[in-house]
Homo-oligomer: A and B are copies of this chain.
Amino acid sequence: MKEIKIFTPATVANISCGFDILGLCLDTVGDEMIVREVPEKGIKLTKITGQKLPLETHKNVAGVAGLALLEEVDASVGYEIEIYKKIKPGSGIGSSAASAAGAVFAINELLGKPFSKQELIYFAMQGEKLASGSEHADNVSPVILGGFTLVRSYEPLDILKINSPNDLYATIIHPQIEVKTSDSRAVLKNQVSLKKMVTQMGNFGGLISGLYTNDYDLIGRSLHDEIIEPNRLVLIPEFDKVKKGVIQAGALGAGISGSGPSIFALSKGEETAKLVGKTMAEIYNNTDIDYDIHVSKINQQGIKIL
Query: Interface of A with B (CB < 8 Å)?
Result: 18-22, 150-153, 158, 160, 162-163, 188-195, 197-206, 208-209, 212-213, 218, 221-222, 227
Q: A158-B221, A197-B192, A198-B20 are in contact. Are A152 and B212 (CB under 8 A)?
A: no
- Chain B min CB distance to A191 (Å): 4
CB-CB nearest 10 A-B residue pairs: A152-B206, A212-B212, A191-B191, A20-B198, A150-B205, A208-B208, A152-B202, A21-B202, A192-B192, A197-B197
Q: Contacting A160 at CB < 8 Å: which of B19, B22, B218, B227?
A: B218
Q: A191-B192, A193-B190, A194-B190 are in contact. Are A201 and B202 (CB under 8 A)?
A: no
Give the complex CA separation of A218 and B212 in angstroms. Answer: 15
| Beta-carbon contact of A192 and B190 below 8 Å | no
Q: Which residues of B contact A201 (CB under 8 A)?
A: 18-19, 21, 200-201, 204
Q: Contacting A208 at CB < 8 Å: which of B193, B197, B199, B205?
A: B205
Q: Which residues of B contact A190 (CB under 8 A)?
A: 193-195
- Chain B min CB distance to A198 (Å): 5
Q: Which residues of B contact A203 (CB under 8 A)?
A: 152-153
| Beta-carbon contact of A188 and B198 below 8 Å | no
Q: A190-B193, A192-B194 are in contact. Are A206 and B153 (CB under 8 A)?
A: yes
The residue in chain B whose Cβ has the minimal distance to the Cβ of A156 is B221
- Chain B min CB distance to A222 (Å): 7
The residue in chain B whose Cβ has the minimal distance to the Cβ of A190 is B194
- Chain B min CB distance to A226 (Å): 11
Q: A160-B209, A203-B152, A218-B160 are in contact. Are A194 and B191 (CB under 8 A)?
A: yes
A and B contact pairs by CB, cutoff 8 A, 17 listed: A18-B205, A22-B205, A152-B202, A152-B205, A153-B203, A158-B221, A162-B205, A163-B213, A189-B194, A192-B197, A197-B200, A200-B201, A201-B204, A205-B205, A208-B208, A208-B212, A212-B213
Give the complex CA separation of A198 and B190 in angstroms. Answer: 11
Give the complex CA separation of A209 and B21 in angstroms. Answer: 14
Q: Which residues of B contact A206 (CB under 8 A)?
A: 150, 152-153, 158, 160
